Amino acid sequence: QAQLEESGGGLVQAGDSLRLSCSNSGRAFRTGAVAWFRQSPGQERKFAAAITRYGAIYYSDSVKGRFTISRDNANNTVYLQMNGLSSEDTAVYYCAVGAACHSVACYLARTYTYWGQGTQVTVSS
């Protein structure tokens, strides 16, 4: 499994939008679940969103209604569209790839084997 390529982070103002991208050509990326986790300073890494091979989608309560995860299978890319950003969304965002998952398992960090290096999202209030 080659390195996961994350992009799209940056510095924005509260209320703005950003779109993160995660790309990889490996088999696990194409056939497994892909998730975004985020980690704020001094806090543990937390689940944000996940999408399975078959398009099942899961969101944490903190991002539901504001973030949208999607995947472009033709281009081996998963996106995280983030709208209505607030300072509470400031974190390093990590893309992760794991085996197929269902329901609760998709929310767990241990489900995912491969992790990107993270992209910083900073929201100023």
What is the structure's pLDDT at 2? Answer: 65
> Span 25-32, mean pLDDT?
87
Distance CA 83, CA 92 (A): 16
pLDDT, residue 30, reads 86
Q: Rounded to whole angstroms, what are the CA distances from 18 to 42, 44, 94?
A: 23, 22, 15
Residue 35 dihedral angles phi and psi, to the nearest 5°: -135, 160
- Report the C-alpha gap between 108 and 68 in whole angstroms: 19
Confidence of residue 1 (pLDDT cuts 50, 70, 90): low
pLDDT of residue 29: 87
Q: Look at residue 27 in the predicted model and tell me its pLDDT.
A: 87
Q: What is the pLDDT of residues 82-116, one digit of tens each?
A: 999 999 999 999 999 998 898 999 999 999 999 99
Question: Using alpha carbons only, how large is the chain's radius of gyration in Å?
Answer: 13
Is-contact 51 32, C-beta < 8 A?
Answer: no
Please report the pLDDT score of residue 26 as a whole number. 87
- Report pLDDT digits (tens) over 38-86: 999 999 999 999 999 999 999 999 999 999 999 998 999 999 999 999 9
Q: Is 32 helix (H, G, I), strand (E, B) or coil?
A: coil
Phi and psi angles of residue 46, each rounded to the nearest 5 degrees, phi first: -125, 145
Q: Output the six-digit token pair for 35.
A: 């998730």
Q: Using the structure block, give the residue that is written with the tokens 């949208």.
A: 68
In a 10 Å sphere around its CB, with 0-12 CB exposed, 13-18 middle and 19+ buried, how is residue 36 labelled? buried
